[in-house]
């Protein structure tokens, strides 16, 4: 089991154990009952959890995070946006929001491990508490995952473990499923195999194309990602094997293990 917190990052591991009393993420709005309400906005923003967002494309999920982060009580600050390619709308969105950007292209390095090391150094330079893959179309390497163990979140446009990989929506349509959706998960060494944080279901309509279905998924995906990142940042989280418990607030896990309730913020 790992607990995640700032300012003093704390990791504790064990196996087994049941869920905390308040369970996994709820469907509540991201600004419900936030800690720190009533404090001046500037003070809240100064204490907001720094995150780096990685993108490869249009960046609508990034935009949802940037928009949420303009509200002080969301408790998250996007300190940088990184990409694996130039000229994408995701980078333009960050620039318009006044957020620093960087690009690390795989092809600019002699091999994959060189890219992995460079990306790790770049991101670590911003000292994020969380890293969010928001449509980032690269497999993160071992150096990166070691540096940000259990702190990398990804969003995927399918109900994992169904349809992992780069063509999840196309694969779901081709398979003929009646329901698909999106998944927010921690990133591990596999392809879309990390512990699941939250999922949302989307019905597949008879006339759906890959494009129409993906657009409907993305509406829910953006809200899910904003909620996951916000709650993990504000309330902390516990990773216990394949389960991620957000905001357990000293539930059975912690009482049993004498693990202190901690916060990322
Ligand atoms: C999202 O559906 C993401 O899950 C997938 O690509 C899409 C990115 O959309 N990998 P955007 O760039 O955030 O608009």
Give, for ligand 1, the residue of 81, 83, 155 to mutate: max count of ligand atoms closer than 8 Å to Cβ: 155
Q: Which of 53, 40, 168, 154 has its CA nearest to residue 101?
A: 53
Say if residues 116 and 141 touch (Cβ distance below 8 Å). Answer: yes
Q: Which of 200, 221, 228, 229 has most ligand 1 atoms within 8 Å of CB, for mutation?
A: 221
| Residue 10 covered by a domain | no
What residues does ligand 1 touch, defined as CB less than 6 Å away? 57-62, 90, 134-135, 155-157, 218, 221
Catalytic, 109? Answer: no
- Token code pair at residue 19: 């869920």
Within a domain: 48: yes
Task: Evaluate whether residue 21 is within a structural domain.
Answer: no
Contact predicate 83/75, CB 8 Å: no
> Quick one: pLDDT at residue 45?
62
Given this model, what pLDDT does residue 47 score?
Answer: 81
- Does residue 236 sit within a domain? no
Domain count, the chain: 1
Please give the pLDDT value at position 226.
98
- 85 within domain boundaries: yes
Closest ligand 1 atom to Cα of 182: 4
Q: Using an 8 Å Cβ cutoff, are 196 and 240 in contact?
A: no
In a domain, 27, yes or no: no
Task: Residue 70: give its domain's CATH number.
Answer: 3.40.50.170
pTM of the predicted protein model: 0.83
What sign does the dihedral 251-255-259-262 (CA atoms) show? positive
Domain encompassing residue 90: 44-231
Per-residue pLDDT, 259 = 38
Is residue 202 included in any domain, yes or no? yes
Q: Which of 156, 185, 214, 253 is catalytic?
A: 156
Judge whether 253 lies within some domain.
no
Measured distance CA(80)–CA(37) in Å, rounded = 26
The residue whose C-alpha atom lies closest to atom 9 belonging to ligand 1 is 135
Per-residue pLDDT of the chain (265 residues; tens, 9 = 90+): 666 654 334 333 333 333 333 333 433 333 333 333 333 444 556 689 999 999 999 999 999 999 999 999 999 999 999 999 999 999 999 999 999 999 999 999 999 999 999 999 999 999 999 999 999 999 999 999 999 999 999 999 999 999 999 999 999 999 999 999 999 999 999 999 999 999 999 999 999 999 999 999 999 999 999 999 999 999 999 999 999 999 965 445 554 443 333 356 5
**Nearest Cα residue to atom 8 of ligand 1:** 135
The per-residue pLDDT for 5 is 58
Structure tokens at 220: 């829910």
């Amino acid at each position: 089991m790992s607990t995640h917190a700032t300012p003093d990052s704390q990791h504790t591991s064990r196996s087994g154990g049941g869920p905390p009393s308040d369970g996994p993420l709820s469907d509540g709005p991201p600004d419900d009952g936030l800690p720190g309400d009533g404090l001046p906005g500037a003070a809240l923003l100064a204490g907001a959890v720094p995150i780096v967002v990685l993108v490869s494309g249009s960046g609508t999920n990034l935009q949802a995070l940037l928009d949420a982060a303009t509200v002080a009580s969301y408790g998250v600050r996007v300190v940088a946006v990184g990409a694996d390619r130039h000229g994408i709308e995701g980078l333009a969105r960050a620039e318009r929001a006044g957020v620093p950007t960087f690009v690390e292209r795989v092809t600019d390095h002699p091999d994959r491990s060189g890219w992995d090391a460079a990306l790790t150094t770049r991101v670590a330079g911003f000292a994020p508490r969380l890293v969010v893959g928001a449509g980032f179309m690269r497999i993160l390497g071992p150096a990166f995952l070691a540096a940000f163990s259990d702190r990398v979140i990804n969003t995927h446009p399918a109900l994992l473990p169904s349809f992992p990989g780069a063509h999840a929506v196309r694969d779901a349509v081709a398979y003929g499923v009646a329901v698909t959706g999106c998944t927010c998960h921690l990133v591990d060494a596999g392809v879309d195999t990390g512990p699941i944080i939250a999922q949302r279901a989307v019905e597949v309509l008879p006339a759906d194309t890959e494009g129409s279905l993906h657009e409907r998924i993305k509406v829910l995906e953006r809200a899910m990602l904003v909620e996951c990142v916000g709650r993990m940042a504000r309330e902390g989280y516990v990773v216990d094997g394949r389960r991620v418990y957000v905001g357990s607030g000293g539930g059975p896990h912690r009482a049993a293990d004498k693990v202190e309730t901690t916060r990322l913020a």
